[in-house]
Amino acid sequence: MPIDYLPILVMVVVAFAFAAIALLVSAITGPRHPNPSKLAPYESGMPPFGSARRRISIKYYLTAVLFILFDIEIIFFYPWAVLFQQLKLFGLIEMGIFVIILMVGYVYIWRKGGFDWD
């Protein structure tokens, strides 16, 4: 049984070796000409304003987490759509239950004001 995992182990070792060699070669052979303009912080082509340690509203993080949550839940529709004809009525009922649970969560977040932009 452990011999079945040998190809995965070889792939992981090759990936780490390739990454280490690429970083090492670029560090050894890369040009080093530091000057003040290269060492300055860079933000999308504009000089940065304010401190990097400024406070960010919790709404930003809440929106990001909600996006990821609903985005990942939508991914579950793809395998269901692929196997829809094989699953027949059972698959339809199971997906209906999943959608109901998803909608309950959506309505809960809506009622709590998770989608309000202040």
CATH at residue 69: 1.20.58.1610
Question: Residues 6-56: pLDDT tens digits?
Answer: 999 999 999 999 999 999 999 999 888 888 877 777 767 677 777 777 788
Q: Is residue 118 part of a domain?
A: no
In a domain, 40, yes or no: yes
Task: Report the number of distinct structural domains present in the chain.
Answer: 1
Whether pLDDT at 98 is above 90: yes
In a domain, 71, yes or no: yes
Instruction: Determine, yes or no, domain membership for 14.
Output: yes
Report the 3 state secondary structure along the chain.
CHHHHHHHHHHHHHHHHHHHHHHHHHHHHCCCCCCHHHHCCCECCECCCCCCCCCCCHHHHHHHHHHHHHHHHHHCHHHHHHCHHHHHHHHHHHHHHHHHHHHHHHHHHHHHCCCCCC
The pTM assigned to this predicted structure is: 0.52
Q: Is position 117 within any domain?
A: no
Asked if residue 76 has pLDDT above 80, the reply is yes
**Is 43 part of a structural domain of the chain?**
yes
**Domain residue limits at 24:** 2-112
pLDDT in tens, 33-43: 888 877 777 76
